[in-house]
Amino acid sequence: MEAINLSNLHEKNSRFRIIAGAEDRLIDFVYAVDSLDAFDLSADEKEVSGYRTKAITTEYVKALYVEFEDKTALIIAAQDNDIMQNYDVFNQSIAVVVNNQIRDEGKKNGIRLLAECDHETFCSICVAHTWAIALVNSIELDDAFAIQAQNSFKHLLSNHKTIVGGNPFPASKHLEYFSWIYYVELRAIREIFEMTNKVKLHDVATNSAHFPLLINCLDEEQLFDLQFTEIICSDIHPEYGQQSIDNILSCFPEKGRRLDLIKLDLTQDNKLLEQADVIIANDILEHFHEEESFDVLCKLWARTKDLLLIHVPFEEIPTKAYGHLTSFNKEKLNQWASKLHGCENITDKYAHVASESYDPCFIDNFLFLKRYR
């Protein structure tokens, strides 16, 4: 077989779609295809004109890992082509599942670059899998992302209603995990602001804006009778959040009127934060190196009017694939909170708001910080 340049498969064959990535991505080239036969190699490991290939088969993907000289490529096809309309499967949780399964296969087969997946490779695999599904369904990538965003939000809505209905479930996947975070924080806001129903909220680093959108789509009972007079959401890359909002609001067109999406760099001081009664920062601090992470917390607290709610994952070692740079535990969270001027850490006082969760220690990942009066 004639040698193929791994960098231009998409130029030689229209069935390939190349996934852009940073220069320091562990896997040099990531492609999506409608079927692995586009590469014209059998599924077994073999040597072809100096190439070493290895098939990676998981629940959701059929992939081919390729090495040639000092370059590597991962070519991804969809294993299940009929999952697009199943919101219990084709949602944002599947990205983590797909990546974990590929990582596990990498470990099993001694492929270090897959086993030690970095954030750029993780993101590229997410895009490649979605694009592979789009290819076999003959739709554009943006349309596949829109369906995935809508499915994710429908799943979050269903999860919240299930929890409020008294039917807890384990946080076994990404969306279930965040469903519990949102539920606990809404209950905390309700109890901490017991004398008022009207609250102005700012969700920082909102990413896909799921929490603000969820609030807009819940009825009074599901919101514990809270009334949010204004919901602000911000992100360093607001275009992603806006795309998510637009995709989701195509299913819920009446629910986006009170959302204000702005650009905000958390490493910089910003007086806009003072406008909100409650600032929410979910799974943000772990994405900065230690010193900068604490500085971000200090900047958030400096502009907190009444209440700052923080959630972080606990890890012994930061997960590179998720872009984590700093690890946390309960002791560290409380130490950081104790260094904030004029701050009352009321997390333990309101720990009961998480008592129904899947994990009795779930509250430990939160900080409820109230300003002294």
Read off the tokens for 1.
Answer: 């077989």
Identify the top-confidence range among 173-187, 193-207, 263-277. 173-187
Determine the average pLDDT of the residues in 304-318.
Answer: 95
Q: Does the pLDDT of residue 45 top 50, yes or no?
A: no
What pLDDT is stored for residue 258 in this prediction? 64
Q: Does the pLDDT of residue 48 top 70, yes or no?
A: no
d(CA 255, CA 313): 30
What pLDDT is stored for residue 187 in this prediction? 95
d(CA 336, CA 367): 10
Q: Does the pLDDT of residue 42 top 50, yes or no?
A: no
- Which one has a higher pLDDT value, 28 or 196? 28
Delineate the domains of the chain, giving CATH numbers in brackets: 6-139 (no CATH), 159-371 (3.40.50.150)
Q: Does the pLDDT of residue 3 top 70, yes or no?
A: no
Tell me the pLDDT band of 87, cut-offs 50, 70 and 90. low
Q: Which residue is associated with the tokens 């999406």?
A: 261
Tell me the pLDDT band of 80, cut-offs 50, 70 and 90. confident
What pLDDT is stored for residue 257 in this prediction? 59
Determine the average pLDDT of the residues in 36-43.
Answer: 66
Span 319-348, pLDDT tens digits: 999 999 999 999 999 999 999 999 999 999
Neighbours of 272 (CB within 10 A): 14
Backbone angles phi, psi at 287, to 5 degrees: -90, 5
Q: Does the pLDDT of residue 359 top 80, yes or no?
A: yes
What pLDDT is stored for residue 306 in this prediction? 93
Query: What CA–CA distances, in Å, run from 205 to 226, 241, 263, 279, 317?
Result: 23, 9, 9, 11, 23
d(CA 354, CA 191): 12
Span 150-191, pLDDT tens digits: 889 989 999 999 999 888 888 888 899 999 999 999 999 999
Q: What secondary structure does DSSP assign to 193-257, as a single string?
A: TTT-SEEEEEESS-TTTHHHHHHHHS-TTTTTT-EEEEEEEEESSHHHHHHHHHHHHTTSGGG-T
What element of type H or E holds 152?
A: helix 141-164
Q: Which percentage of the chain shows pLDDT scores above 70? A: 93
Q: Does the pLDDT of residue 283 top 70, yes or no?
A: yes
What pLDDT is stored for residue 83 in this prediction? 76
The mean pLDDT value of the chain amounts to: 89
What pLDDT is stored for residue 169 in this prediction? 86
Going by C-alpha positions, the residue among 162, 161, 156 that lies closest to residue 179 is 156
What pLDDT is stored for residue 310 in this prediction? 98
What pLDDT is stored for residue 1 in this prediction? 46
Q: Does the pLDDT of residue 136 top 70, yes or no?
A: yes
